[in-house]
Amino acid sequence: MAKKPTVENTNFNVNEAKIEQIDVEAFLDKYMKLYSAHSNVRGLPFIGDGFKDAQRKAMWGMLKRGVDAKKISVERVSSLCAAETDYHHGVGSMQGTIVGLAQDFAGSNNLNLLVPDGQFGSRRSHGASAARYIETMIHQNFRMIFRKEDDTILEQRCVGELKIEPKYFIPLLPMTLINGAEGMGTGHSTHIFSYSPKVVRENIIKVLSGHTLTDHVMVPTWKDFIGKVTKDRETGQVTVTGDYKLENTTTLRVTELPVGVSCDAYEAVLNKLEDQERDAPIKSWKNASDNTGFDFIVTIPRTTSYLDRAELIKIFKLTSRDTENFTMWGTDGLIKKYRSAEHVLTEFVEWRLLRYEERRQKLMSDTQHQIDWLIELMRFITFYLNSVQLFKNTGKAELIKLLEDAKFTDVDKLLSQQIWSLTKDRISDLEQKLETEREKLSKLQSSTPVEMYKKELGEMKLDF
């Protein structure tokens, strides 16, 4: 008989184990709070950029490669993203995040931020191929939504000396509404459907023009979904209905399923209908669906074909009902539950306008700095042309003192100018640049965040 394992006959040494005793109150106040806070950071999106923590890290890793970098396998880039952002939750988890950002079928993203090259999933099956077989790169949608002009005001985070992803990105549209969101933390969860980018943009313009949005007016919209979506104006409950075609009195074709229902799940529904012992509404069925859409060819008795549309929709389980949960990290850094999509949009616009003002102030500061530099450079060139002999016969230390006495401020930069550029022709070129910069500053000074926002919304090219 095998000897029963005991502490004495195993390799485990109790004396060498590091056992720390901690009372329940201390555990809950310290470790449990930290875990709960981190799980909510991972599970809930931020209303500003619409990203969860891992999604933000994934996009930053992709940006570190370059916006125009060529395609790379998800397996390789996931390791890069994890390394560049101090990601601690495994490469497999990062691969799933990248796949989610690239998916572009109905029910995934209305505006995918990464390019899906290979099998990234479909309406039939959301599962993607192995990460080593599929490739991705940054989609042009990214720079349409997250403009480069805002990069200068991103708040960079650091872990030690490693610069990781920014605190948040700055989109033109609330991405939690554009692509939806699904997640769960400790004590909180979120469940948001997708909305039409064009409709969201139109409503942002209304808010910028001083209008107040009514709750539950916006209806969820999924790219390529051909069914029907309605929303209860009082409760906000969303009803999603698929579609069918009655070919003849004995053949019915299911051509669309409610968003979120997969082929496997619907095959189970048809099997159950076929197996009914009495008055089965169908005789047989065949799944002819492909990556372009659903197509279930169902053979039915004539009695089924005589039923009205509402009854057929009910029998074939082509309706789903759900209510959204708009819980996310708010602009004040606290978890907040919003009433509706309109409430989310309104608060997003308020936050986005503050970011426009930050950008405007930063651009004015940078432009003024450039103006000051051009003025100083022109004065330096004139000073040099009038004092060539002084420069020719003077050492570096004396030159520095000479320029400091002449009230030049950026002495090192001035002395690094190439000799061939210190000409009268260069002064003329600098005068033209100076005029351009002054015009730019004048426009910035007279512009407002609302005007800047409306202008850039108008420049967006949206398909639906």
Mean pLDDT of 157-177: 95
Lowest mean pLDDT, pick from 27-41, 300-314, 330-344, 428-442: 27-41
CA angle, residues 192, 193, 197, in degrees to nearest 5? 115
pLDDT given for residue 446 in this prediction: 97
Query: Residue 362 corresponds to which tokens in the numbers above?
Result: 């930063």
For 74-105, the pLDDT digits (tens) are 999 999 999 999 998 889 999 999 999 999 99
| Token pair in block for residue 203 | 């409503």
In this prediction, residues 177-183 reach a mean pLDDT of 97
Q: Is 61 exposed, middle or buried (0-12, 13-18, 19+ CB in 10 A)?
A: buried
pLDDT band at 15 (very low <50, low <70, confident <90, very high): low
Among the residue ranges 17-26, 159-168, 239-248, the one predicted with the least confidence is 17-26
Which pLDDT value is given to residue 38? 86
Q: pLDDT tens for residues 406-439?
A: 999 999 999 999 989 999 999 999 999 999 999 9
Instruction: State the sign of the Cα–Cα–Cα–Cα dihedral 227, 231, 232, 233.
Output: negative
Q: How far apart are CA 337 and CA 328, in angstroms?
A: 7
Q: Which residue from 158, 182, 184, 154 is spatially nearest to 170, judged by alpha carbons? A: 154
pLDDT digits (tens, 9 = 90+) for 109-164: 999 999 999 999 988 888 899 999 999 999 999 999 999 999 999 999 999 889 99
Residues 6+ apart with CB under 8 A from 414: 376, 377, 380, 403, 408
What are residue 367's phi and psi, to 5 degrees?
-70, -40
Gap between the Cα atoms of 126 and 121, Å rounded: 4
Structure tokens at 135: 């490739």
Predicted TM-score (pTM) of this structure: 0.90
Residue 18 has pLDDT above 80, yes or no: no
Q: Which one-letter amino acid corresponds to residue 374?
A: L
Q: Which of the listed CATH numbers 3.40.1410.10, 3.90.199.10, 3.40.50.2000, 3.30.70.20 matches domain 52-167?
A: 3.90.199.10
- pLDDT digit string, tens, across residues 372-393: 999 999 999 999 999 888 887 7
Give the pLDDT confidence score for residue 393 in this predicted structure. 77
Residue 312 · residue 320 · CB < 8 Å: no
pLDDT at 11 over 80: no
Q: What are the structural domain ranges in the chain?
A: 52-167, 238-322, 361-458
pLDDT above 70 (res 1):
no
pLDDT of 19: 64
Structure confidence at residue 148 (pLDDT): 96
User: Which two tokens mark 390?
Assistant: 């002084």
Q: Provide the percentage of residues in the chain whose pLDDT is more than 90.
A: 83
Residue 58 and residue 68: Cα distance in Å, rounded? 16
361-458: in CATH 1.10.268: yes
The Cα–Cα gap between 4 and 261 comes to 51
- For residue 339, which amino acid is it? R
Q: Which residues pair with 228 in a beta bridge?
A: 241
What tokens does 149 get? 């002009």
Backbone angles phi, psi at 375, to 5 degrees: -65, -45
- Which whole-number Å values give the CA distances from 455 to 170, 328, 365, in the listed order? 16, 28, 22
Could you please state the CATH topology (level 3) that the domain comprising 238-322 is classified under.
Answer: Gyrase A; domain 2 (3.30.1360)
User: Would you state the pLDDT for residue 8?
Assistant: 46
